[in-house]
Amino acid sequence: MSTIKSFRTDARGGGDLDNMPNIVTFAVDENLAREIASLAEFVASHGLHKVEKFDGRAQFLRHDPMIDPDQALVLGDENHVRTECGCLAVSGSEFWFTAFVKHTDEEVSSPRQSIKELILHFMQEESAPAMVTCANCTAEVEEVIGCPDGSEVCNPCFESGSR
């Protein structure tokens, strides 16, 4: 499994701009997921609506290169909507990214994402059992048994006495 969760969603806002973004992409790693969870706890424990911190990781695009590669290629660098004042916003249960289209007062954002689902994504990674190799049959197993000679074998090999 990956230690990064990538998002590719419809962008919101932008009004009637010619270069209005349609897609927003961003990635969240384990450290950011922990920070988001911590900020959500802070919001909830202090009775706040949300907190924001500067974070420009979200990329706003006019055309999705995965769905409309020809149009994205035609636009080249102009497919990326230039933004400023990018922020990560966190409420008690959701997080999202916001920014202003450069040289305008038009705000754009990602849809709100569930913090609970984000935490579950990374908890699954942490709770995935580590696989080890049986010294006898070389099978990848979750658990091995230590033998008197120092080798570690899987349960079937141990029970069959073939070590």
Average pLDDT of the residues of the chain: 86
Please tell me whether the overall predicted TM-score, pTM, comes out greater than 0.75 for this model.
Answer: no
CA 42/CA 54 separation, integer angstroms: 17
Residue 28 belongs to domain spanning:
4-127
Same domain for 77 and 155, yes or no, is: no
Same domain for 90 and 149, yes or no, is: no
Q: Residue 1 — very low, low, confident or very high, per pLDDT cuts 50/70/90?
A: very low
Same domain for 143 and 72, yes or no, is: no
Residue 125 has pLDDT above 60, yes or no: no
- Percent residues over pLDDT 90 in the chain: 52
Same domain for 101 and 161, yes or no, is: no
Helix (H, G, I), strand (E, B) or coil at 57: coil
The residues pairing with 83 across neighbouring beta strands, listed in sequence order, are: 101
Which candidate, 157, 19, 154, places its Cα nearest to that of 75?
Answer: 19
Residue 37: CA atoms inside 13 Å, Cβ hemisphere, count?
15
CA 133/CA 81 separation, integer angstroms: 49
Domain count, the chain: 2
The residues pairing with 8 across neighbouring beta strands, listed in sequence order, are: 25
